Amino acid sequence: EADIYQTPRYLVIGTGKKITLECSQTMGHDKMYWYQQDPGMELHLIHYSYGVNSTEKGDLSSESTVSRIRTEHFPLTLESARPSHTSQYLCASSEYGKLFFGSGTQLSVL
Amino acid sequence: AQTVTQSQPEMSVQEAETVTLSCTYDTSESDYYLFWYKQPPSRQMILVIRQEAYKQQNATENRFSVNFQKAAKSFSLKISDSQLGDAAMYFCAYTYGGSQGNLIFGKGTKLSVKP
C-alpha cells in the first residue's frame, strides 16, 4: 500500500541550528500539508502545496519554510531553531478530500 | 468563521460497550465534508470515517458510524463493541468544497477503553 513517510521520527537539537524535516509520499498526490500539533492539542495548518512549485502559508503563522520541487517530496526547514519551535510536526497528502498522514516528527529544541 | 468544536476532552468506555463522541461545527458553506480521524499513542493519524454534507444517509464503517444532523451542525461518532485498540485521540475535522482540501480540526477527544 502506498504511504507517506516522515524523517526523522524524533529530533533533539540546540538553539540556532538549521533543520530540515523530510516528508515523502508515494501516492502521486498533488496536495500536501504540514500541520503543527502540541501535546494533547488540535492540529494547526502551517503550510500547504497544491503541486510542484506551489506553496502557501497556512492558518498558523510559522517561521518555517517549505519547498515543493518534486511531487513526492515536501520538506520543511527551520533556518534557526528556537525552543518555541518544540512541537510535533505532521505531514499529510490528500486526494478527494481524504488526508493521509505521516507518523510525524517530534522536535525538541533545547 | 468556520470552527469545529469537540466539547468532551476525555471519554471512557468499557470494552464491548458503545460510546458516542460529540462534534459540532459552524459554517455558511453548503458543499462541505466532515471527518473523524483517530490518532493512537503511536501518533500516526488515520481516517476513521467521512461524511459528505449533501448525503442524507449517515456514513458507516464497520463498528464506526456517525449521526449527521445538518440543521443542528452536529456530527457525532458512535463506536460500537469498543475494543482496546480503539483507545486514542479522536479528532473531528471539516473542509469545504472551495478550500482545496485544507482541513479544520477540533481540539480532540481522548478515548480510554477499560478492559
Q: What is the pLDDT of residue A96?
A: 75
Q: Output DSSP code: residue B23.
A: -
**What average pLDDT does the segment B42-56 reach?**
87
Which residues of chain A have a CB within 8 Å of the CB of B104?
A: 59
Q: What is the pLDDT of residue A1?
A: 52
Q: What is the pLDDT of residue B73?
A: 95
Instruction: Provide the residue type at A63 as one letter.
Output: E
Other C-beta atoms closer than 10 Å to the C-beta of A62 total: 20
How confident is the model over B53-82, as pLDDT tens digits?
988 899 999 999 999 999 999 999 999 999
Residue B34 CA to residue B50 CA, distance in Å, equals 6
Task: Say if the Cβ atoms of A45 and B102 lie within 8 Å.
Answer: yes
Task: Say if the Cβ atoms of A97 and B50 lie within 8 Å.
Answer: yes
Of B45, B104, B107, the CB nearest to A101: B45
Q: What is the pLDDT of residue B60?
A: 93
| CA neighbor of A90 nearest in space, from A78, A79, A74, A68 | A74
Q: What is the pLDDT of residue B78?
A: 98
- Cell numbers representing residue B105 in the block: 480540526
Q: What is the pLDDT of residue A81?
A: 93
Q: What is the pLDDT of residue B101?
A: 66
Task: Say if the Cβ atoms of A40 and B37 lie within 8 Å.
Answer: no
Report residue A63: phi and psi, to 5°: -85, 0
Question: What is the rounded average pLDDT for all residues in chain B?
Answer: 91
Instruction: Give A58→chain B minimum CA distance, Å.
Output: 9
Q: What is the pLDDT of residue A91?
A: 95
Counted across chains A and B, CB pairs separated by less than 8 A come out at: 55
Task: Say if the Cβ atoms of A33 and B102 lie within 8 Å.
Answer: yes
- Cell numbers representing residue B28 in the block: 455558511
What does each of the 110 residues of chain A score in pLDDT, given as a tens digit? 558 999 999 999 999 999 999 999 999 999 999 999 988 788 899 999 999 999 999 888 888 999 999 999 999 999 999 999 999 999 999 887 788 899 999 999 99
Q: What is the pLDDT of residue A58?
A: 87
Indicate the helix (H) or strand (E) that contains B45: none
